[in-house]
Amino acid sequence: MTAGSGAPEIGEPFVVRGKTLDGEPVELWVGSDGMFSSEPIPGAETISVGGWVLPGLVDAHCHVGIRYGGGIEDVAGARAQAVVERDAGVLLLRDAGSPADTRSFDDDPEMPRIVRAGRHIALPKRYIRGLPVELDDETRLPAEVARQARAGDGWVKLVGDWIDRGTGDLAPLWSDAILVDAIAAAHREGARVTAHVFGEDALPGLLAAGIDCIEHGTGLTDDTIATMAAGGIALVPTLVNIENFPEIADSATRFPVYAAHMRDLHARVADTIGAAHEAGVPIYAGTDAGGHVRHGRIADEIVALGRVGLDPTEAFAAASWAARTWLGHPSLEPGTPADFVVYTDDPRRDPAAASPDLVVLRGAVVGRSPALA
């Protein structure tokens, strides 16, 4: 998609007429201040009529600055990743841990909004080398959590489990007692906490300590699903990244128990995440882009959420308005920044092929398909 010649000049008011996914007609007046106006604006140019309008899409778990295939991007590389997300309609990213400094993007009107979780927190040799802050001993966890809470944008990311090469299987990193102190420390800073969890054993301790979200969640059981549903604890399964589990298992030839565990979690993922959805656990769309997944794959995650039982409207909600509300961002309300996307055809008919025909960020057209130019 390219910015077409038919786009209004930056700062000129415009109007989009279309419908929401529930079929309600909607008229979006965008003022020269980049905000939605509650009133029609005289002289506003009509730039789109009859399309399906959604609040800006959300990738609720990605990593800006972690290179596909490994390593850390420089600022230009991280910026290129963010642009790929934006062009796919993702205007709000929850960065679930990155050592790259993307703070300068906050002042760049062309960049999507990023909600950061600071850096991953792990123990030595218990996560991907080079990515986390590694603590020599877990008693430092509460202080580090408070530090990352202040460095981020309201989220802290723990590595909840990882292969323990001593036992040769997935195992929790942290004791239940230190998690209680650590999560309380984040909450005192006004931050929410989430954790990378592939297996079963780390979940009870994290949930008992009051964690706010679980990433991946392939090891959820009936009991831990019930706890999450009762507490309204969110789940971001990153299904497009779970597809990498067999490859991870293949590369772990020295750890057959771990490899078998990963294959089993992968084989059951649709049932596991489907059961969480059935039970009422709030689920949001995240691709885990960076590292093992390329950026720009939100449509694939929406399709994958459909395969585990979300209906098409629920799957788009998980990647748009529901996720925005969860992250504290508005959706098409007057007086708020104009971040939205428009599809010419109903994106639920073929989510795999759905790509927005118009992308508006901070009230400026940043992407427009030739069909609308």
Residue with tokens 């008229």: 27
Taking the least distance from each CB to Zn ion, the nearer of 57 and 93 is: 93
State in angstroms the smallest separation of the CB of 145 from Zn ion: 18
Judged by CB under 5 A, the residue of 73, 144, 288, 301 near Zn ion is 288
Stretch of residues binding Zn ion (CB under 5 A), selected from 94-102, 169-177, 273-281, 363-371? 94-102
* Helix, strand, coil tally for the chain in percent (to 5): 35, 25, 45
Q: 121: buried, middle or exposed (CB in 10 Å: 19+, 13-18, 0-12)? A: buried
State in angstroms the smallest separation of the CB of 154 from Zn ion: 17
Residue nearest to Zn ion (CB): 288
Taking the least distance from each CB to Zn ion, the nearer of 236 and 354 is: 236
Q: Find out whether 2 and 368 touch, Cβ atoms under 8 Å.
A: yes
| Pairwise CA distance, residues 199 & 49, whole Å | 48
Stretch of residues binding Zn ion (CB under 5 A), selected from 32-40, 108-116, 286-294, 316-324? 286-294
Window 311 to 340, contacts with Zn ion (CB under 5 A): none
Note the residue count of the chain.
373
Please name the helix (run of DSSP H) or strand (run of DSSP E) that holds residue 47, with its range, or none. Answer: strand 45-55
95 makes contact with Zn ion (CB under 5 A): no
Stretch of residues binding Zn ion (CB under 5 A), selected from 3-11, 93-101, 110-118, 362-370? 93-101
Please name the helix (run of DSSP H) or strand (run of DSSP E) that holds residue 306, with its range, or none. Answer: helix 298-307
- 3-class DSSP state of 112: coil
x/- map, 246-285, Zn ion, by CB under 5 A? ----------------------------------------
Q: Find out whether 191 and 151 touch, Cβ atoms under 8 Å.
A: no
Taking the least distance from each CB to Zn ion, the nearer of 240 and 342 is: 240
Taking the least distance from each CB to Zn ion, the nearer of 47 and 100 is: 100
Taking the least distance from each CB to Zn ion, the nearer of 290 and 312 is: 290
358's CB contacts (< 8 A; 6+ apart) are 16, 47, 48, 51, 341, 342, 365, 367, 368, 369, 372
The DSSP symbol for 221 reads: -
Taking the least distance from each CB to Zn ion, the nearer of 119 and 368 is: 119
Stretch of residues binding Zn ion (CB under 5 A), selected from 41-49, 92-100, 266-274, 322-330? 92-100
Nearest Cα neighbor of 195 from 239, 157, 250 is 157
Q: Find out whether 119 and 129 touch, Cβ atoms under 8 Å.
A: no
State in angstroms the smallest separation of the CB of 188 from Zn ion: 25
Taking the least distance from each CB to Zn ion, the nearer of 131 and 185 is: 131
Site for Zn ion, rule CB under 5 A: 96, 288
